Amino acid sequence: MKFRKDINGLRAIAVIAVVLFHFNASWMPGGFAGVDVFFVISGFLMTGIIFRGIEQGNLSILNFYVARANRIIPALALLCFVLLIFGWFYLTPLEYKSLNKHAASSVSFLSNFTYWNEAGYFDAASHEKWLLHTWSLSVEWQFYIIYPLVLVAMRKFMSINTMKIMLVVGTVVGFVYCAFATYRWPNASYYLFPARAWEMMIGGIAYLYPLALQENRKKLVEWTGLALVIASYFLISADNLWPGYLALFPVVGSFLILQAQRDDSFITSNIVSQKLGSWSYSIYLWHWPFVVTIYLFSLPDYYMYLGMVLSVLLGFLSYTYVEKLKFRNNFSSILDYFTSKPVYMAGFIGILGGALFIESNAITDYRFSEDEYLMVKQQFHDPKNLECNKAENKNSLGCIYGSGPVKAIIIGDSHAQTQGFIVGNKASSLAGGSALSLVLSGCPTIKNVYRVYPGIKKEPDYNCGKLVADAIDLAADEYPNIPVIILNRTSFYIHGYNEKKKDKQWSSVPTRFVDKVFTERNNDYENNITGHMVDTICDFSKNNPVYLVRPIPEMMRNVPANLLRLSTLDKNNDTVKIKYEEYNKRQNVAFQMQDRAVKQCGAKILDPTPYLCDSEYCYGDIDGAALYYDDDHLSSYGSEVISPIYDEVFN
């Protein structure tokens, strides 16, 4: 196939969108659709290579694989190697362990499965994953493996024309599946090959069914395609489920641009588009680590511009000195394929990453003293953690902290879980009794609430609502007049994550419902959930005094990890903090809900913020000791710091 400037220019349009979106999503809210454009281009090119080989009778699937490895692996392996060296000196132990795992999965082209499996409540923020962007390379590689095998098998039973028709049918079926699966299993659809295959197959259709167009028609088709692609970059955002039917915009747009075949277009054929298109793969590889660096090290916004410049510069250098390297791509036997240098590169990174992942303590021993590491990390230590958290122990209704009669009941989600042993200590020291803990991770204190898990499992989970309903009855029947302490991460249930989570699609749609299903987080959903929260609190208050803990400030970044990082950079006097104004804005709905419960049913407020905040900021540490064990859960030390708020309960 002769070199086509329009394809190279389309690559530039794709990589520009992805880079702008990742550095600042507000610049191009749908820039992530550039990845879908890359998929269409790959499908077009690979279909051409495979069908020409089939028609000419000289297709070697193994040589096809080697050619793809020669193209993809060297630059990817170099990126992974550089990051592993960088991470040894500048990442925290847990971050480096994660990087090693991700490097190994990237060069083995399984990273899309890795990131899909990591999706969940306690998943690390996407901006802490240095190789997150390699998921798309894994999807493409899986396409390269499966596609030629399927086509060669089809050729044994049908003609070329029938194969073409079947490819069209398969593309339509693939799109229908994608549209369905995106709403049923959004995480899986985003990361996994089955829901993405149709995008590459439609590129194949563009190759197999080229349109014979006059010049004026070519311009119309090209401009229509460009309009669809550009529109997707600005009209779609991360709040939309993706890929789904909306992926038709960039995919069909790319299809039309390929069909126009305009090598003289000033949009795709100008010198800038051609250069960026040639460097696009390497730019794509290098840009994301700069995005992560800016986030992890809390660099000023103007570093975004430096990051983009460096992405292009390294893209040029990688293209010139790595991508252009010539490797052998014809072998006489299967065993010879394992002598391929790119295969050695992938194997080296995979083994290195795997070994460092297994020996994860090496970096801790090398860079941090034990006292320093333990002081800063301040992980949550609760000897009854497994017993008391119903998310991990379905057979237990709860547990008792301390001995003697129950003097307090604490109920809520994982934020309440961190307070069980503190309340138990207070019950023992101030009232000569114990505390009953009824907690469930991710469970808002709402009677009969249920939870859905988009992309993880099909059936709703009613455990949370049942636990709360049982707790109301238990408190009334067995512990009347015993104080009930309620603590939730209410803002999460109303607004979703405030961290830069990988799984923003999951966060953008509601996942907890009571009597009505909502498809978006709007005022109606907010009023519905907070109304049921107030009703539940009032149900408790009929037989028990109720104390509502004001929301714990959310730091938006992992506190122990950032303290370790600041220590690495000799910035021990710096701290992790958020503006008090931001805390109030984020928690305003929770405040209003609690205040309504105070007025309607006499609940009382316990406020931890005087111990965590001043008039300007809320802090993640005190003199280097972490108040949190991640970004929003209090550590054992943090829980001790706010413990005076519970004195009122027992007085």
CB 134 within 8 A of CB 111: yes
Check: CB of residue 221 under 8 Å from CB of residue 211: yes
Structural domain contains residue 153: yes
The residue ranges of the chain whose pLDDT is under 50 are 120-123, 391-395, 501-503, 505
Q: Residue 530's domain is classified under what CATH number?
A: 3.40.50
Q: How far apart are CA 639 and CA 614, in angstroms?
A: 17
The alpha carbon torsion through 529, 527, 530, 535 (nearest 10 deg) reads -90
Number of domains in the chain: 2
In this structure, the answer to whether residues 343 and 402 fall within a common structural domain is no
Q: Which pLDDT belongs to residue 395? A: 44
Do both 360 and 487 map to the same domain? no
CA distances from 481 to 153, 445, 531, 537 (A): 73, 19, 24, 14
- Residue at 632 is within a domain: no
Say if residue 524 is exposed, middle or buried (CB neighbours under 10 Å; 0-12, 13-18, 19+): exposed
Element housing 546 (H / E): strand 546-549
Query: Rounded to an integer, what distance in angstroms lies between the CA atom of residue 548 and that of residue 604?
Result: 6
| 141 shares its domain with 212 | yes
Question: Do residues 194 and 255 share a domain?
Answer: yes
Instruction: Give yes or no: residues 327 and 434 share one domain.
Output: no
Distance CA 179, CA 221 (A): 25
Maximum Cα interatomic distance, the chain, rounded to a whole number of Å? 90
Alpha-carbon distances of 347 from 115, 340, 342, 370, rounded to whole Å: 21, 11, 8, 33
* CA pair distance 203, 636, nearest whole angstrom: 55
Q: 316, 333, 367 — which closes off a domain?
A: 367
415 with 437: CB under 8 angstroms? no
637 within a domain of the structure (yes/no): no
φ/ψ (deg, to 5) at 487: -140, 125
Domain membership of residue 561 (yes or no) is: no
pTM to 2 decimal places: 0.81
The confidence score (pLDDT) of residue 367 equals 63
* Inside any domain, residue 629: no
Question: Does 297 share its domain with 347?
Answer: yes
The answer to whether residue 183 is domain-embedded is yes
Rg, C-alpha atoms of the chain:
28
pLDDT at 501: 46
- Dihedral sign of CA atoms 322, 328, 329, 334 in order: negative
Q: Which helix (H) or strand (E) segment is 430 a member of?
A: helix 420-431
User: Which of 312, 340, 367 is a domain's end point?
Assistant: 367
The answer to whether residue 613 sits within a structural domain is: no
- State yes or no: cis peptide before 243, omega within 30 of 0: yes
Do 361 and 388 belong together in one domain? no
Q: Please, are residues 74 and 345 in contact by the beta-carbon 8 Å criterion? A: yes
- The answer to whether residues 388 and 399 touch, using CB atoms and an 8 Å cutoff, is yes
Final residue of a structural domain among 340, 367, 394: 367
Whether residue 546 sits in one domain with residue 501: yes
Name the phi and psi angles at 450, rounded to 5.
-130, 160
Question: DSSP secondary-structure letter at 320?
Answer: I
**Do residues 273 and 267 touch, judged by C-beta distance below 8 A?**
yes
User: How far apart are alpha carbons 401 and 22 in whole angstroms?
Assistant: 46
Based on the domain organization, do 341 and 237 belong to the same domain? Answer: yes
Instruction: Report if residue 65 sits inside a domain.
Output: yes
CA angle at 422 for the pair 421 and 427, rounded to the nearest 5°: 95
Looking at the structure, tell me whether residues 306 and 431 fall in a common domain.
Answer: no
Provide the pLDDT for residue 361.
Answer: 62
| pLDDT tens per residue, range 565-612 | 777 666 555 678 999 999 999 999 999 999 999 999 999 999 999 999
- If asked whether residues 359 and 500 sit together in one domain, one would say no
Domain that holds residue 262: 5-367
